[in-house]
Amino acid sequence: MTIKVLYTGAFRFPQVDAAAKRVAMVAKLLEQNGCHVTFAGWEATQTPFQEYRHQDRPCISMNELDQKASTRIRKLTGFLKQGEKTLSWLKTGQHTFDAVIAYNPPALFANRLRRLGKTMGFCAMLDSTEWYDNSHLPGGPFGPVALENTARMRLAYCGFDDVICISRFLEARYNNRNVINIPPLTQVLAAVPDAHPHTSPVSVLYAGNLGRKDKLASFIQALPRIQMRLGRPVRLRIAGMDQAALISVLGQSGDIAAALSHVDCLGRLTPDAVKAEYLGCHFSVIVREDKRYAWAGFPTKVPESLGYACPVIANRVGDIGHILTDGHDAILADEDTFMDRLPDAIAQALEPGRHQAMRTAALDTAGRHFTTHAHIAPMRRFLERAGFASRLSKDIHR
């Protein structure tokens, strides 16, 4: 008998942001083990509980997000009560499920979903991909949003017996439960592009809107020294924001102002244009703070870059240093050593034949760690431990 799964939470279809990509790929893993997945995203629609299809999968809009509030109190109340419409819809019994997976749910919703699962007979599961830094949240580290974040991570999430997570850090946190570690997955495995001409500028891509998670200043400051060492132009190409937005984040003081002449801000690009940037650049770059939130998460940009055969320049924070190998599919360095380490490391990576080998290795790493094929069997074991062994299909669909 098919296992009927509902995937719900603060993701929006048909958007292609990290949340939507995450649940779509985990759902594919479930389907490859014979499950039937329905999505209940929290996107706002004109018609509550509107049913539609996305990528040929059944979806129902829960209308939990993007609601305009007239006062701060109403806005806060709405935030704390997110998921209430979803619970009410589940209680109607119009659709029945064997398992309900909650993607990064609020604390109150998480607790109520687990209780409802016991009442209605479905298995309440958690998909945990973040541990937000309280200082990054609206209201600061002692505001109500930060208190809710603490409640969900330290109390509500500890009540789930079956947990899907995104990092070894979170896997260790949930280690006394049925837990599976699924990093961000990619469907892209591009062919290795032809070698760049040795006379062309060395191009490095940052794809995304620079926020508090990514610390790009140290890399930008190193760009003039990298160009001096290579003896050829070096360009950092930022796909996702314009120069005014970049300056508002980084400022223009000291070394930053001098290095901005090496930066090309491309603004927001279409997915096809971003793909072309990955295929055309020598490397991508991502720099994260050495803090708990960075260890708990995993940047979607890494498997995306590797899937396009684009080696990554990064610091060893979280699972990046565990999965990627310096000089093989990536250039890894501590952020405080970028200025001294990166010029020689990049020069070595661009030696004849070396960069093409790194591109091939990047693609191989993507296939071994960041595709559904690599995680079908672990997902089957996860479902077996969750109590569905007798209902899993005998054949794994690859």
Q: Six-digit token pair at 23?
A: 């649940």
- Give per-residue pLDDT as tens, 153-196: 999 999 999 999 999 999 999 988 999 999 999 988 878 888 88
Q: Using pLDDT thresholds of 50, 70 and 90, give the confidence band for residue 385.
A: very high
Instruction: Specify the 3-state DSSP secondary structure of 180.
Output: strand
Q: E strand or H helix at 108, and its extent?
A: helix 107-120
Residue 213's pLDDT is: 65
Residue 47's pLDDT is: 79
Distance CA 330, CA 353 (A): 15
Residue 277's pLDDT is: 95
Q: Six-digit token pair at 206?
A: 């940052």
The residues, ordered by sequence, that sit 6+ positions from 128 with a Cβ below 8 Å of its Cβ are 104, 157, 163, 164, 165, 166, 170, 174
Q: E strand or H helix at 266, and its extent?
A: strand 263-267
Tell me how many helices (H) and strands (E) the chain has: 16, 14
- Antiparallel, parallel or unpaired: β 234-239 and 202-207: parallel
Distance CA 247, CA 268 (A): 16
Flag whether pLDDT at 395 surpasses 70: no
Q: Using pLDDT thresholds of 50, 70 and 90, give the confidence band for residue 68.
A: low
- Give per-residue pLDDT as tens, 320-373: 999 999 999 999 999 889 999 999 999 999 998 999 999 999 999 999 999 999
Name residue 126's beta-bridge partners: 102, 163
Who wins on pLDDT, 40 or 65? Answer: 40
Q: E strand or H helix at 363, and its extent?
A: helix 354-369
Residue 178's pLDDT is: 97
Contact predicate 31/85, CB 8 Å: no
Flag whether pLDDT at 198 surpasses 90: no
